[in-house]
Amino acid sequence: MEPNHLRMQLLSDDEMGSSKDWRKALRAQPAYRIVNRTIRGQTQFISIVAFIGLFVLIILYMFPRKGGSSGSVLRSSSYNYTYPLTSPIKTSSMHTFRIGVIADLDTNSRSDSDKNEWYSHFMRGYLSYSPTRHTVVVTWDRTSPIRLTTSYSHKGRGMELSELVVFDGRLLTFDDRTGLVFEIINDKAIPWVLLMDGDGKNTKGFKSEWATVKDEVLYVGSMGKEWTTPSGQLVNHNPQFVKTITTKGQVTHLNWVDEFKRLREVLGIYWPGYMIHESGVWSDVHRRWFFLPRRCSKEQYNESLDEHRGCSVLISTNEDLYDVKTTQILNSKPTRGFSSFKFIPSSEDQVIVACEPKNSTARPQLTSRPSQSTAKNTKGFKSEWATVKDEVLYVGSMGKEWTTPSGQLVNHNPQFVKTITTKGQVTHLNWVDEFKRLREVLGIYWPGYMIHESGVWSDVHRRWFFLPRRCSKEQYNESLDEHRGCSVLISTNEDLYDVKTTQILNSKPTRGFSSFKFIPSSEDQVIVALRTEELDGKTSTYITSFTIHGEVLLDDFYMSDLKYEGLEFI
């Protein structure tokens, strides 16, 4: 007999009944057990939900969203958003800002007293903008311009500064000869980042022409035109690269060849026609890029004719530079071209102030063949523009292929863009395709070209903005290029596919944009830009202002017989 069976037999009937009742009670749980379990389950669920909610709140607190219309972009807790650097003076009818412009003295930048010193001029002044009257007045300090010096050069040339931009609380300027990015501290130029040409794998510096900030990153572009020989023959696409620079100095090289093509193709400019950019601005308000090309032409580049091809069009485009729109800018001087522009800060990015220099001598990057092959180049990056995007500084060259004076392709180095972090880390971005798209929107295809000296990223619009200095559907020709000034504002989205253009009235094809900025309080609706003219051995610079829709608020206002190529609110 089994032991368990024996034990069961030893139990009395009463004991057996009690045992059965006890087991039954266990199987049938009282109501209070169910209630307690339900409450316990709800408590656990509520605790989980509360924990998730607390976690989300912590994330939102640590990473607050930007204000304004660009609320989709997260702010970094470490990025310095101070802009302008000097607090503006505002009344109900007038907003007054501190501004500064930087000079590109080209071969005249070498000191007469010290053979190992190169210099530039930094001039300050005030810009007063009336939102109600829609007027702009510019005055300059009575003191002499500040002399910025350096001992850094490349083959006897240096301190040929092309742009001014505020990035992460720093005032930066760019040497388009050596590729150096300087920070201006206490009226001294301190080297910060070195940008190399094209994709960054070159020994030649990037020819920065324009710079703008987009999403805490600095975008720096070149002229956006193929590098060609003086007669317009394709050399390379280096000027069609764009550099992105983080606040740490990390540089990325973006190929904007296609982007620059789209910018010029919107004006019916196809290669060998060209468009030269020296100014580009990203607007956070519009989430678009804006460009004021310096030169543009449907004809092939010609060195002797280029100074009479000033561009007078404002180009805007979405972040990817595909939705391109244009606005004509009145300009009766074809020898003048935009060299820099900015939106007036309080204009909601509706009003632009720009520099428009004048010079008859063809730009050095287009007049001479590189001394070495494309793969082995000892020239520094020719910075033409710089801008801040997402805490990264982007420095670009002219965005045009490097060519011989007759337009023959040498390399694509000027079509690279450098990105620089605040720690000085540099990344080289191949922007060959991006620069192509920028010019192709104007109908400009190789061997046509577009030269950039100004580019700005707008956090408001989440778009890039460019004001090309030169553009032409014809092949580059050193003698003709100065007559191919561009008058279009190009804007494009982040990946430079949605390109739009706006024509800027300009009857002076010899003038081209060299720099521009959005007026800070304008929500990236108003641009102030520099236009320069180089004609018959003489140079001149003009400042102008207009909205992103092409409405001129300040016609070309003569500044100086020096060529100023950098503009910033300081």
Listing DSSP states for 203-231 in one string gives SSEEE--EEEEETEEEEEEB--B-EE-TB
State how far the alpha carbon of 304 is from the alpha carbons of 123, 406, 479, in Å: 30, 10, 1
Mean pLDDT of 10-28: 45
Quote the pTM value.
0.59
CA separation for the pair 497, 434 (Å, rounded): 8
Which helix (H) or strand (E) segment is 43 a member of? helix 31-62
Mean pLDDT of 535-558: 90
Most confident of 149-163, 298-312, 524-538: 149-163
For residue 372, tell me if it sits in a domain: yes
Cite the annotated binding site for Ca(2+) by residue number.
162-163, 209, 278, 339
Q: What is the pLDDT of residue 46?
A: 55
Lowest mean pLDDT among 280-284, 288-292, 529-533: 529-533
For residue 158, tell me if it sits in a domain: no
The terminus-to-terminus CA distance of the chain in angstroms comes to 104
Domain boundary among 6, 36, 62: 62
Q: What strand order describes the sheet that includes 234-236?
A: 234-236, 227-228, 402-403, 409-411
Same domain, 49 and 196: no
Give the residue, 6 or 120, on which the prediction is more confident: 120
What is the radius of gyration, based on Cα positions, of the chain? 30
Same domain, 55 and 195: no
Q: What is the pLDDT of residue 67?
A: 34
CB atoms within 10 A of CB 253: 29
- Residue 133 clears pLDDT 50, i.e. is over it: yes
Residue 130: pLDDT band with limits 50, 70, 90: very high
CB 382 within 8 A of CB 206: yes
Phi-psi region of 524 (alpha: psi -120 to 50; beta: other; left: phi over 0): left
Half-sphere exposure of 30 (CA within 13 A, CB side): 3
State how far the alpha carbon of 259 is from the alpha carbons of 496, 531, 545, in Å: 5, 23, 25
CB 282 within 8 A of CB 509: no
For residue 2, tell me if it sits in a domain: no
For residue 33, tell me if it sits in a domain: yes
- Residue 75 clears pLDDT 70, i.e. is over it: no
- Residue 282 clears pLDDT 90, i.e. is over it: yes
CA separation for the pair 174, 167 (Å, rounded): 13
For residue 500, tell me if it sits in a domain: yes
Q: What is the pLDDT of residue 45?
A: 55
Which tens digits make up the pLDDT trace of 398-455?
Answer: 999 988 888 888 899 999 999 998 878 888 899 999 999 999 999 999 999 999 998 9
Query: Which two tokens mark 8?
Result: 């069961």
Residue 229: pLDDT band with limits 50, 70, 90: confident
Most confident of 299-303, 319-323, 467-471: 319-323
Q: What is the pLDDT of residue 68?
A: 35
Domain boundary among 22, 47, 62: 62
Give the pairing type, strands 488-497 and 324-329. Answer: unpaired
Cite the annotated binding site by residue number.
162-163, 209, 278, 339
CA separation for the pair 287, 463 (Å, rounded): 4
Q: What is the pLDDT of residue 479?
A: 82
Same domain, 335 and 195: yes
Please report the sign of the dihedral spanned by the C-alpha atoms of residue 258, residue 298, residue 416, residue 291.
negative
CA separation for the pair 454, 452 (Å, rounded): 6
Helix, coil or strand: residue 40 = helix
Q: How many domains does the chain have?
A: 2
For residue 117, tell me if it sits in a domain: no
State how far the alpha carbon of 4 is from the alpha carbons of 1, 9, 22, 545, in Å: 9, 9, 19, 103
For residue 477, tell me if it sits in a domain: yes
Contacts of 382 (CB under 8 A, 6+ apart): 162, 176, 177, 179, 197, 204, 205, 206, 207, 208, 209, 222, 239, 365, 397, 398, 414
State how far the alpha carbon of 488 is from the alpha carbons of 408, 501, 541, 550, in Å: 26, 6, 18, 9
Within 215-279, strands assigned E span 216-221, 227-228, 234-236, 241-245, 251-256, 273-276
Mean pLDDT of the chain: 83
Contacts of 438 (CB under 8 A, 6+ apart): 224, 256, 259, 260, 261, 262, 263, 264, 275, 277, 291, 315, 317, 321, 324, 399, 450, 452, 466, 468, 490, 492, 496, 499
Q: What is the pLDDT of residue 415?
A: 93
Please report the sign of the dihedral spanned by the C-alpha atoms of residue 183, residue 165, residue 277, residue 304.
negative
Lowest mean pLDDT among 357-371, 513-527, 542-556: 357-371
Contacts of 418 (CB under 8 A, 6+ apart): 179, 181, 193, 195, 196, 200, 206, 208, 220, 243, 244, 245, 251, 252, 253, 381, 383, 394, 395, 396, 426, 427, 428, 429
Mean pLDDT of 7-28: 44
Q: What is the CATH number of the domain that holds 453?
A: 2.120.10.100
Which tens digits make up the pLDDT trace of 235-276?
Answer: 999 999 999 999 999 999 999 999 999 999 999 999 999 999
For residue 176, tell me if it sits in a domain: no
Q: Containing domain of residue 47, as a range?
A: 14-62
Q: What is the pLDDT of residue 375?
A: 26
Q: What angle do helix axes 257-265 and 432-440 make, rounded to 10 degrees?
A: 10
Residue 482: pLDDT band with limits 50, 70, 90: confident
CA separation for the pair 252, 160 (Å, rounded): 23
Mean pLDDT of 168-175: 96
Which helix (H) or strand (E) segment is 13 a member of? helix 13-27
Determine what percent of the chain is predicted with pLDDT higher than 70: 82
DSSP-derived letter for residue 195 is: P
